[in-house]
Copies of this chain bind each other. A is one copy, B any other.
């Protein structure tokens, strides 16, 4: 049981209680998923039962769904930090670890409980969350299959004159119809020179013949996310477009082959980056190669220069090299990938092709 495993890990980390405060981690440990950014706190004392504080708004759902903890309410008009403070006082704990606290809550706690030490330690949670169980992988696999349909749909509707937002509308409609509970992030479709913006939003710009079009999307199943990107040219690609595309694809394939348990994350990044550098486009690869994906869209481990992470069996990560040339446009190819003992497995599986049929 996840919450018991967390409890068992507390003494070694030097804590007699731990505060889980992100909606996704609370879901991971209790099975109750609140809405994004909801105030929520799971107090896990080392030698007593865990207590989950939710707002009154979420009480019915939390009482139905939260397992292995006592659900308590922060009622309308009551303040969240005040309730947590009172509970910590009653629990008489001395060394409290936390996942993420905003400074004003931290200051309130340390001021009121002068004899209690509070220490940031998010790794304690990520140590568990970054290794996906078979069930979690099955959920991500399903979210990945939905994303593949989103990409397929976008590819089908792409034509000169269609607006970026219309392409998004079609892709999202397809994913929703399959039961995607939400979107993994705000869907990106950027075309022409706008494709040089790695994280641009879609606009009402009409897609033109010869435009590079970047489609970056993800679905959600049981809270688990997928993340995939394809770059497509409407019409016949130019020589330069094809050259950059092939370079990015080679880099992605090279990285894919390097991914397995025990490999250093920076090394995988360096494999892809080396190819793009040797191709002459190193300075245009302006982000890390990838990131973990799960209940959050950006999780550990981080695949980037100077990352200290080492890949493990059960990690689910993105593999997404990109080249972005201002004025000209960009190419990014991204898959969600599962790390096995001796190899990697692509969970998003739509074709990489640059040209639409």
Interface residues, chain A, CB within 8 Å of chain B? 33-38, 55-61, 76-77, 98, 100-104, 106-107, 118, 120, 163, 165-166, 168-170, 172-173, 176-177, 179-183, 185-187, 196-204, 286-288, 298, 304-306, 324, 326
Contacts and interface: CB of A to CB of B under 8 A. Distances in A.
* This chain's copy number in the assembly: 2
Nearest to A269: B76
A61 B287 CA distance: 14
Contacts of A187: 182
A37 B324 contact: no
Contacts of A104: 120
Given A60-B324, A61-B199, A77-B305, 5 more contacts: A34-B199, A57-B199, A104-B120, A179-B204, A181-B186
18 contacts: A36-B186, A57-B199, A60-B196, A60-B326, A76-B286, A76-B304, A100-B102, A103-B106, A103-B120, A106-B106, A107-B120, A165-B181, A170-B173, A172-B176, A173-B173, A181-B202, A181-B203, A182-B187
A104 B119 CA distance: 9
A286 B77 contact: no
A107 to B, nearest CB: 7
Given A103-B103, A120-B104, A166-B177, A61 B197 contact: yes
A97 to B, nearest CB: 12
Contacts of A76: 286-288, 304-305
Contacts of A198: 57-58
